[in-house]
Amino acid sequence: MLKIMLPTIMLLPTTMLCKPKQLWITMLTHSFGIAFLSLQWFKPSMEFTSFSNHYLGVDQISAPLLILTCWLSPLMVLASQNHLTKEPVTRKRTFISTIILLQTSLILAFSATELIMFFMAFEATLIPTLVIITRWGNQMERLNAGTYFLFYTLIGSLPLLIALLSLHTQNGTLSLCTIQLNQHAMLNSWTHTTWWFALLTAFMIKMPLYGLHLWLPKAHVEAPIAGSMILAAVLLKLGGYGIIRIMMTLDPLSKTLSYPFMVLALWGVVMTSSICLHQTDLKSLIAYSSVSHMGLVTAAALTQTHWAHTGAITLMIAHGLTSSMLFCLANTNYERTHNRTLLIARNMQLFLPLMGTWWLLASLANMAIPPTINLMGELTIIASLFNWSNITILMTGLGTLLTATYTLHMLSTTQWGKTPSYIKTIPPTHTREHLLMALHTMPMALLMVKPELIWGAFHC
């Protein structure tokens, strides 16, 4: 664990002390080194119990999410270079330091074996994300979006803290390993239900569950490219990871509570997919599609079966790479046309033909066509939900159909159609942008060959 944590923390003084001309290359070289070093976590022998450190550990559930976090940090810096070109050096250093702090808190959150430490890291991710949205956002509404993001998360986190303190009072410890060995059943069913409700609220806001999702489109639309990438790819996954981790450790969730959440999650899949069909803003469309995919992950986590948890983790990783790539593609369009409206920037394939290929690949992955890992995650979740209740096939089937519809609508609107009269010429794409897309596509392609790396500890 320290092999990754120490180099990540040491990036802070490196960023502050290196020469201005070498800032980008130094940061990228070191963070890619950390990303490649983190691949050792794919070794299947690693478990919580094999660590002498009682506070940090990696197992097969947290390893894929940790590697995704380490992999995306250099990509965020790579994507933000054009955005920060005119900024003074001190602001560039501050921006990179904020990303490093966010990466550190995410690594702590995914590897914490003590629930209070997990809670502290879970909340610590809020500050760097808020700074990125409010300081480097593009629009005037960024402060409003930051306020939504802050208060939604804080309101959800207070019940979580009370629930964890209550658990500590009951068990005398918050260590995940010890709680599994020494569990006391909650006798009062009403207390048990209230406790689970308090616990799940924070995770459902972070996911976000349909009905608690209003902060997400605002945050995505106002955030710079780095903020959108980390929000969609990793921060939403904190909620799913928290639900799966705690459900594996504690008593099963009562049906009284799981049914309403399940209905909201499945209804959210259909509703947010329908909302995507009439979105005019490209970033808003991709943000709502994230809510739809996370609804499937929430439903899978609530069924509490190994098969569903496998699908949830697979879809979280697949969605992390796909949505991050879609936001990068939306950003390349925005940097050239200075507009995110779908109908204004049409027929981009004529001006940027190679970028059209990346759009096609990202859209096909978002639609979950074979043999992508998105399909593996979605099929596993749909099968496990059908096994749980046959009626769910109506919601999941309709959600899949709507996903294909809005993805094709997004692709055809941006890449084809009549060229707007005011667009005569636009700057060509850079090698940096193609490298960024390739670094998103390559892990997806490699995971198709060996998907069991991200199945978690649940597969046979």
Secondary structure (H, E, C), 296-353: HHHHHHHHCCHHHHHHHHHHHHHHHHHHHHHHHHHHHHHHHHCCCECCCCCCHHHHCH
- The amino acid occupying position 195 is W
Q: Which two tokens stand for residue 285?
A: 């469309």
Q: How far is CA 430 from CA 232, 288, 292, in A?
A: 24, 29, 32
Round to whole Å and give the CA distance between 303 and 387. 10
Q: Cβ contacts of residue 273 below 8 Å, gap of 6+?
A: 288, 289, 292, 398, 399, 402, 403, 405, 406
**What pLDDT score was predicted for residue 179?**
77
* Domain ranges across the chain: 251-459
| Tens digit of each residue's pLDDT, the chain (460 residues) | 778 888 889 988 988 888 888 888 888 999 999 999 998 888 755 444 444 466 788 888 888 999 999 999 999 999 888 888 888 889 989 999 999 999 999 999 998 888 899 999 999 999 999 999 888 887 778 888 888 888 888 888 888 999 889 888 887 888 877 777 776 555 567 777 888 888 888 899 988 888 888 888 888 888 888 888 988 888 889 989 999 888 887 767 767 788 888 999 999 999 999 998 888 888 889 999 999 999 999 999 888 888 888 999 999 999 999 999 999 999 888 888 877 787 777 777 777 888 889 999 999 999 988 888 999 989 999 999 999 888 989 999 999 999 999 999 889 888 887 777 667 677 788 888 899 999 999 999 999 998 888 886 654 3
- The amino acid occupying position 323 is S
**What pLDDT score was predicted for residue 51?**
46
**What pLDDT score was predicted for residue 460?**
38
**What pLDDT score was predicted for residue 304?**
83
Is the pTM higher than 0.85?
yes
Round to whole Å and give the CA distance between 357 and 21. 33
The secondary structure of 155-166 as a DSSP string is HHHHHHHHHHHH
Among 435, 426, 412, residue whose Cα is nearest residue 334: 426
